[in-house]
Structure 1
């Protein structure tokens, strides 16, 4: 029996995602959950961006947003399907499929109807959202948005996920350990 068994009383598979605008601490929380022995899937957008750079496209999201979004959608769909086959009762994923649509809304670009269909066919158990947090926000070569843009993206994430009927659970600004405890406590309810 897992040392975290008290947190998980349900038998069915829980696929839980952690969302939020850029620089809100998602990857740090995922790393903390991994360190505690949880099954977690990392954000894949950096992988997609780095692969594009190898092919000579400096910023795929800016230069070819639809292609970037298609690649992310496929990668996140694969993560969801892989998570369903995990032996673990709970799987955490850094960002979900609807994030792709939220970013497309943010840039004002259109996308095929199949994007919406994929969002409706792949349903997550719980959604935790991290609020914008200027004190921890850092921009880098893969995170080109400034803090104001990050807040706009956050609004699109909320709108998109709520549009699919999800109840978003906001994780308070706190230490990484306390944020993780908050998430684990919410899951045990």
Structure 2
């Protein structure tokens, strides 16, 4: 039976680095779709799509993450890792106080995950770039909105301890209840 595992946490907490480590170990992983959406918008001359049209940005993310989920269902991999899940979208919209239609919460209830691993804000590794512009303080607040969103949906959240990439990856793998 397949397990769908989501890595959650505020910006710049090490999720993607651990996901890349999982990829290097030949695990099936779904990468974050927001950077792709942001880059496509920039190609069209929209510098900060989330800030200028948050609902459009979020709708594009919803479509991308829903598609990832469907792709995962079609694979025969026992483990599928996701860099963020559908509930992240409405958590961010709540953080930005953006009104959104019920479909965002409905899809989050429809597409269920088996395990949620949380990466806490970590000041030592926090960085910004063209697609990740949140300050550390903003990342801490966003993180709380993310945790609240998943808890509201009834998920049990496992916190990933700080440490080297390999240690964090091994922690996740050792926490899963299946033969690797």
Question: Is the structural similarity TM-score above 0.5?
Answer: yes
> Does the 8 Å CA contact 2:2/2:76 hold for their aligned counterparts?
no
Partner Cα separation in structure 2 for residue 85 and residue 142 of structure 1:
30
Mapping of 1:1-189 within 5 angstroms? 12-188=1-177
> Does the 8 Å CA contact 2:5/2:80 hold for their aligned counterparts?
yes
Give 3-state SS (helix, strand or coil) of 2:124's partner: helix
Match of residue 6 from structure 1 = none
Q: Which runs of 5+ in 2 are unaligned?
A: none
* Aligned residue pair count: 178
Partner Cα separation in structure 2 for residue 131 and residue 94 of structure 1:
14
TM-score (norm 1): 0.93
Partner Cα separation in structure 2 for residue 142 and residue 82 of structure 1:
25
Partner Cα separation in structure 1 for residue 27 and residue 11 of structure 2:
23
> Does the 8 Å CA contact 1:15/1:84 hold for their aligned counterparts?
no
Divergent runs of 4+, >6 A: none
Q: Which runs of 5+ in 1 are unaligned?
A: 1-11
Partner Cα separation in structure 2 for residue 178 and residue 116 of structure 1:
33
Partner Cα separation in structure 2 for residue 114 and residue 154 of structure 1:
22
User: 1:110: how far off?
Assistant: 1.0
User: 1:69: how far off?
Assistant: 0.3
User: 1:188: how far off?
Assistant: 2.7
